[in-house]
Amino acid sequence: MSIAVGSAAPDFTLKNQEQKEIKLSDFAGKKNVVLVFYPLDWSPVCTNEHACMVNEMKAFETLDAEVLGVSVDSVWSHKAYAEKMGIRYSLLADFHPRGAMSEKYGVYLPEKGITGRSIIIVNKDGKVAWVKNYDIPVVPDLNEVAAALQQVKTATA
C-alpha cells in the first residue's frame, strides 16, 4: 500500500553512488524532493526513464527540486550506471536490508525483490505532496511530474 498524500514522509539515510550519505531531512525547509523509485539499474525501461530525467534536469532545478533515484541496487552498480548514463543526481542504494526504505513508502515488491516504479514528491515541510505509481514497463510522464512539482512549489511559496 502506497503512502498517502498529506502524511509525513518517513525520513531515511541511504548512500548514493559516491558513497555519500543522503538524508531526506537534510532537504527540509530548503527543497522539494522528487523520489524516483525504479526497479533496477540497467533494465531497458529504467534506462529510458533515467535518460528522460537527465534531459529534463534543468526543468526540475528551476522548480527548486532535488531528484533522488531509489532502487535496491548496490552503490557500485549505481556508480557504474550513473557514469554510463551521465546521471548527476543521487541514486540511492536501498540495498541492505533490501528494500527497507522503499517498504516505508509502500513501493517495495517483496515477491520480486525489487522496488516498484513510483514517483513521490515530498514538499519542503516533509509531507508527501504527490504520489503516482506506474506499471513496471511504463516510463513515467515527466511533464506530468513537472506539472505536479510546479503545483507543490506554488503551494509552498
Q: How far is the C-alpha of 42 from the C-alpha of 45, rounded, in Å? A: 9
- For the stretch 146-151, contacts whose Cβ atoms lie closer than 8 Å and that sit 24 or more positions apart, written own/partner, are 146/56, 146/59, 146/60, 146/63, 148/121, 149/32, 149/34, 149/60, 149/63, 149/65, 149/121, 150/63
Report if residue 12 sits inside a domain.
Answer: no
Q: Reply yes or no on whether the pLDDT at 10 is more than 90.
A: yes
Q: Could you identify the residue written with the cell 513501493?
A: 107
Task: Using DSSP, state whether 12 is helix, strand or coil.
Answer: coil
CA nearest 31: which of 101, 143, 122?
122
Q: How far is the C-alpha of 154 from the C-alpha of 42, rounded, in Å? A: 35
Q: Reply yes or no on whether the pLDDT at 142 is more than 80.
A: yes
At 42 the pLDDT is 87
Report if residue 20 sits inside a domain.
Answer: no
Confidence of residue 1 (pLDDT cuts 50, 70, 90): low
Task: Give yes or no: 46 in active site.
Answer: yes
The per-residue pLDDT for range 115-127, each reduced to its tens digit, is 999 999 999 999 9
Q: Reply yes or no on whether the pLDDT at 157 is more than 80.
A: no
Report if residue 29 sits inside a domain.
Answer: no
Look at 90 and 52; give whichever has higher pLDDT.
90
Look at 155 and 89; give whichever has higher pLDDT.
89
User: How many domains, in total, are found in the chain?
Assistant: 1
Annotated active-site residue in 9, 33, 35, 46: 46
Indicate the residue type of 18.
E
At 52 the pLDDT is 74
Report if residue 22 sits inside a domain.
Answer: no
| pLDDT above 70 coverage of the chain, percent | 97
The DSSP H or E segment spanning 46 is helix 44-62
* This prediction's pTM: 0.94
At 15 the pLDDT is 98
At 103 the pLDDT is 97
Q: Reply yes or no on whether the pLDDT at 137 is more than 90.
A: no
Report if residue 15 sits inside a domain.
Answer: no
CATH number of the domain residue 95 falls in: 3.40.30.10
Quote the domain boundaries for residue 69: 38-156
At 48 the pLDDT is 79
CA nearest 127: which of 152, 144, 104?
152
Report if residue 26 sits inside a domain.
Answer: no
Report if residue 143 sits inside a domain.
Answer: yes
